[in-house]
Amino acid sequence: MQKIRFTFIDLFAGIGGFKMALSNNGGHCLGFSEINKDAINTYCENFQIEPSSNLGDITKIKELPPHDLLTAGVPCQSWSIAGKNLGFDDDRGQLWNDTIYLLQQSQPKVFIFENVKGLVDPRNKKALSYILERIEQAGYHANYFVINSFDYGVPQNRIRIYIIGFKNQEYFQNFTLPKPIENKLKLGDILGIESQKRIDNKIVQRDLFGNILESKNMSLSNTNGFNDYFLFNDLRNGHTTIHSWDIIDTTQRQKDICLLLLKNRRKSNYGELDGNPLSLAHFQSLDSSIKQEEIDELIQLDILKSEEYRFVIKEYNINDLTKDEALLLSFTNNAEIIVDSLRIQKVFKLEKRSITKIIQSLKEKDIIECDEIRYDFKNTKISTGLFGVNRIFLPSSDIFPTLVASDTNDFITLKTIAAINHHDFKNKFIKEVYNSREFRKITKSEACLIQGFPHDFKLPESRARWMKLIGNSVSVPVIDKLCKAIVETGVFENEEKDQNNQSIELDFPDTETLSFAEAF
């Protein structure tokens, strides 16, 4: 039996990250708001509550019952900072305004709102200022905090903004952000949890093939200066960067040509972008022995690609142009069109106009003609990686990247590598991990632990479905630490200073899901 210390309402509840943390600190949930069916089913199944507890679509909630604490993991939607600016009753329909409307209406003692770190970006300064202003107008003293989940107990680099506010200024002044924990959980501590078994009353960990892993210290200080993950990318270089020419069968000559492009493509004399394609003439100015046939071979290997870079403009009748064609031709330089110069023009991106399609249209009308071909790496999107792999993390890594709803091309390996130098480290990784396919994506159980949920938290079977749910959740230990700090202010103890909500002193069966610490 656990005594109720405070009541709360869970807006944008997701799968219950707020609920789990607050319930483990004596909170009693009076209702939650969620519209995603998978999230609703997951919430109700894990916490053994009826779907009738769901308050439904926040935009349709007119009133909340009295409660002590309001939580909201407001989605990071595109959001107009001003709305209609007609007051709380008239700015409905935008999720931040809907949230603050319900805060103003219900007047709880304290609230916690969570959002992506982009809200504190200088470009969103007006949006954040507007949110804080509306919160103040609702009668609250509030501040925002930028927190990395790794500092509070999960092996994940997840930076989020938390806005915390109190109705009573005294408790606001009493609130102190918890200090980061010292003994942080590391990624290696949770990898392969499903394959851990007890041998002679000791937990042993096995690799993907069932072999027992030797005991190891997961601290990066014992990795001899080696990085703890490998990056698959053709646009960067480093001891633990894997390029396409490292894993495709290529000659040393071909590798040297690729490295020549990598070394020079970011130089400003080749173009205006951060990375620019090079023409054959550019290659030959760097190495006169390079032939067109060698460039073509690298294209056939899917390492390089050709690009139409420069166009000359022929005579044309302006009445024959579409609006998009006229726009593109307005960005000319000495009767030439340079593709990279077009790519830095914001109008094409803002108005979602395809430069490629417009150029193709002008070519078909015989208005422009390609005058220069250049060559670049085929894989130029860093986040995509190479051949479906972006990064592979070793067991020595402290953290895993931010879990996102759409999943990523990040993988882990349970294989440890003993190497004598960086060259040996990279070669052994390619041979023993990449070529041997001894790597995989994180499992459902590992994803739960990376977010601070119990490893056996119930989620849908489909990876796409459970990844969306877990990637959209808050990290449970962060909310746990924030809740403890809020309780320590005394906000739920002194009823004389705030009569908005009546404290409930009831015992109820502790049927909540185990906390992360208890489960692990």
Catalytic machinery residues: 76
Q: Please answer whether residues 411 and 392 qualify as being in contact, where contact means their C-beta atoms are separated by less than 8 angstroms.
A: yes
Helix axes 125-137, 95-106, angle to 10 degrees: 20
- Cβ 366 vs Cβ 312: under 8 Å: no
Decide: 501 and 462 in contact? Cβ < 8 Å.
no
CA dist 156 and 168 (Å) reads 34
CA distance 75 to 81: 14
Which residue bears the tokens 């319930």?
A: 23
Q: Give the CA diameter of the chain.
A: 86
Token output for 109: 């003692």
CB-count exposure of residue 268 (10 Å: 0-12, 13-18, 19+) = exposed
Nearest to 254 by CA among 377, 155, 436: 377
* Structure tokens that stand for 7 in this block: 């009541």
Q: In whole angstroms, give the CA distance from residue 297 to residue 282.
A: 18
Spatial CA neighbour of 236 closest among 203, 252, 258: 258
Q: Provide the token pair at 384.
A: 């995509």
Q: Which residues contact 189 (CB under 8 A, 6 or more apart)?
A: 155, 218
- Bridge partners of residue 229, in order along the sequence: 393
